[in-house]
Amino acid sequence: MTTPTAPLLELSTLWIQVTGTWCNLTCTHCLNSSGPHNPWLKSLDTEMVIHSIKEGADLGIKEIYYTGGEPFLHKDMLLLIAHALEVAPTTVLTNGTLITDEVADHLAALAQNSLYSLEIRVSIDDVDPKKNDRIRGKGVFVKAVRALELLYSRGLLPIVTATEILTDELPEGSEMYQRFRDFLLSLGITKPRVKIMPVLPTGRMEGQGGPLITPDMLHGFDFSLLQCSETRVVAEGGVYACPILAGLPGARLSTQTLKEALKPCNLYHTACVICYETGMTCKN
């Protein structure tokens, strides 16, 4: 069977996998098997990130996202956020455990002094500390909630990202979004923001997926519903089509420049079906 492709309709979003798969946590559902030991995808050096931001600006990008791994493990992360904010609205995806008072102060100053918005997305998988830490590690819940409070107290409005891994355990009639919204309100965060992500058949959940996309499925399909139609990802080894699949050879479009990656990408992975069926995006 011929592998179907998705066109690049517009390059609007640049993702930078700044720390590769280097993370201080080992979450059970991690979509790229990140962790603290021997990351299979290495971090990017500072110069490479700055170069990619400049190239993205020349190509007209409208948003920048930093992800990993855990971005705040990068020694120059605050500097790299500042560079990104010179170009476009910027989001950092983090587990929150490394956000101290000093880091929160610096982030608030960056946000205040930029023409563009700075968003911080903090991953929490359940409002119950025990359930969350069963997935993310002992003591992580307390640190992540502390990060939310530090950011909010400085005028930043964090986004909580949760994964549907615990959906089956929710009481009947309860909704995951509502539980998180109520929890954030209980912390005094008066404008709660929550993003719910599905469990993806990648990384530590590899093998949980099912069928692949076929060419017949794409007849009359609106490709603008796929994030790979507007997104490219800079990571070790080149430029990739998707932040979910960054680092995988099948998703690599270029080994050098962003411009070389402005071409159709293969919809070869079982994770592509989730985007096709749901319109899911990793964006805010």
Cβ density class 217-251: b for 16+ within 10 Å, e for less = ebeeeebeebbbbbbbbbbbbbbbbbbbbbbbeeb
In a domain, 235, yes or no: yes
Residue 137 is part of which domain span?
7-208+228-267
Flag whether pLDDT at 107 surpasses 60.
yes
Structural domain total, the chain:
1
Averaged pLDDT, 236-260: 96
- Position 169 scores a pLDDT of 58
Tokens of 5: 């492709």
- Position 172 scores a pLDDT of 46
- Please tell me the total number of residues recorded for the chain in this structure: 284
Tokens of 126: 């359940």
Averaged pLDDT, 69-83: 98
206 neighbors 244 (Cβ within 8 angstroms): no
pLDDT-derived band at 170, boundaries 50, 70, 90: low
In a domain, 56, yes or no: yes
CATH of the domain at 90: 3.20.20.70
- Position 210 scores a pLDDT of 76
Q: Give tens-digit pLDDT for 199-225.
A: 888 888 887 557 899 999 999 999 999
Tell me how many helices (H) and strands (E) the chain has.
7, 11
Mean pLDDT (the chain, rounded) = 94
Q: Give tens-digit pLDDT for 30-56.
A: 999 999 999 999 999 999 999 999 999
d(CA 165, CA 171): 14
d(CA 244, CA 237): 15
**Residue 15 neighbours by CB under 8 Å, 6+ apart:** 64, 65, 66, 67, 231, 232, 233, 234, 243, 246, 282
17 neighbors 246 (Cβ within 8 angstroms): yes
Q: Report residue 195 CA to chain centroid gap.
A: 11
- Position 203 scores a pLDDT of 87
- Position 47 scores a pLDDT of 98
Residue that has been written with the tokens 């069928």 in this structure: 211
Averaged pLDDT, 177-184: 94
13 neighbors 31 (Cβ within 8 angstroms): no
pTM value is 0.95
In a domain, 91, yes or no: yes
Flag whether pLDDT at 166 surpasses 70.
no
Flag whether pLDDT at 174 surpasses 90.
no
**Residue 88 neighbours by CB under 8 Å, 6+ apart:** 14, 56, 57, 61, 62, 63, 64, 116
pLDDT-derived band at 156, boundaries 50, 70, 90: very high
pLDDT-derived band at 232, boundaries 50, 70, 90: very high
In a domain, 61, yes or no: yes
- Position 20 scores a pLDDT of 98
In a domain, 139, yes or no: yes
Averaged pLDDT, 166-177: 62
- Position 199 scores a pLDDT of 85
Flag whether pLDDT at 135 surpasses 70.
yes
In a domain, 214, yes or no: no
Q: What is the dihedral of CA 68, 73, 74, 80, to 10 degrees?
A: 80
pLDDT-derived band at 173, boundaries 50, 70, 90: very low
In a domain, 16, yes or no: yes
In a domain, 1, yes or no: no
